[in-house]
Amino acid sequence: MQGGTDMLFFWVALWCYLAATVGASVYAGTRKDGVRTIVFFVTLLGFASNTGALVMRSVLSGHPPVTNLFEYLSFFAWAIVLGFLIIWRKKGLELLTAFASTVAFAMMAMASLFPTDVSRQLIPALQSYWLWIHVSMAIMAEAAFAVAFVASLMCIMGDRRGHTRLPNRNLLDSIAYRAIGIGFPLFTVGALFAGAVWAQRAWGTPWSWDPKETSSLIVWLVYAIYLHVRRTRKGSIALTSGLSVLGFTLTILTILGSKFLGGLHSYG
């Protein structure tokens, strides 16, 4: 079954996120508060539309909108924008939050490449309340990693180009750490723990070294390295920022990986 009104809302959200990204670039050049306000409202409009699309899809399908890559990436974009909106008013992070829509736009654009069909019938493997717990917590964790990614990327850009217009790098580093401090426990509990409990019930083993499981472990290990390196004297901001960027890149590859690597998680 093809999506209906939810797809209209999806496209409105996608174009709003693109417009907000362009607006953020203008703001980066001009630093005019008015431009940032416009970016905020366009982002908010995109977020509202994204919310509408997800709610409509849930109503249409009768289950959480996380059962294929299109739905997962749309939800992921929504969670990323939510993460940035939470820290929108924080002083000194005006430029960081202005780019909230950029990563969300990338996710929506990727989502649009996958089949958008709605099915009311879940396959037997997904008929469990663990679907909602496991996937939604993983998405929230990954959204926190996305916030850390943008902050870390700005740290690296500031280092490379000596940008004085970028936010203070200690503040960016602190934001990245706090975001990972939220994302890492959520990822451990949602993606790994809840996933293991569900896998035990469904497949008879909590861990089977499936490509998606192993990729998630790799993501977890990279952020564990980040947290350890940050506590050593050798752990410069440049190094930890690099690890944060690497962690998020691997997160994206993990999300898309099941499509190409196959295994037990290849549903959508």
> Where on the chain is the footprint of other proteins (CB under 8 A)?
1, 119-121, 123-125, 127-128, 130, 170-171, 173-174, 177-178, 181-182, 184-185, 188-189, 192-193, 196-198, 200-207, 209, 211, 214-215, 217-218, 221-222, 224-225, 228-232, 234-237, 257, 261
Cα gap 148→21, rounded to integer Å: 18
Q: Which amino acid is at 87?
A: I
Q: Minimum CB separation from other proteins for residue 139, in Å?
A: 18
Cα gap 28→41, rounded to integer Å: 17
DSSP sequence for 187-221: IIIIIIIIHHHHHHHHHS-S----HHHHHHHHHHH
Q: Minimum CB separation from other proteins for residue 156, in Å?
A: 14
CA distances from 170 to 96, 130, 237, 241 (A): 13, 39, 8, 11
Closest CA relative to residue 99, chosen from 80, 78, 119, 126: 80
Q: Which is nearer to other proteins, 58 or 214 (CB)?
A: 214
Q: Which is nearer to other proteins, 39 or 182 (CB)?
A: 182
Q: Which is nearer to other proteins, 110 or 192 (CB)?
A: 192
Is the separation of the CB atoms in 78 and 9 below 8 Å? Answer: no
CA 218 vs. chain centroid, Å, equals 17
Q: Minimum CB separation from other proteins for residue 162, in Å?
A: 16
Q: Which is nearer to other proteins, 74 or 216 (CB)?
A: 216
CA distances from 5 to 26, 46, 131 (A): 32, 15, 25
Cα gap 99→142, rounded to integer Å: 17
Q: Which is nearer to other proteins, 29 or 209 (CB)?
A: 209
Q: Which is nearer to other proteins, 115 or 124 (CB)?
A: 124
Q: Minimum CB separation from other proteins for residue 183, in Å?
A: 10
Q: Look-up: residue for tokens 């909590």?
A: 206
Q: Which two tokens stand for residue 118?
A: 């709605």
Q: Minimum CB separation from other proteins for residue 86, in Å?
A: 15
Q: Minimum CB separation from other proteins for residue 256, in Å?
A: 13
CA R_g for the chain = 19
Cα gap 211→266, rounded to integer Å: 10
Q: Which is nearer to other proteins, 38 or 239 (CB)?
A: 239
Q: Minimum CB separation from other proteins for residue 5, in Å?
A: 20
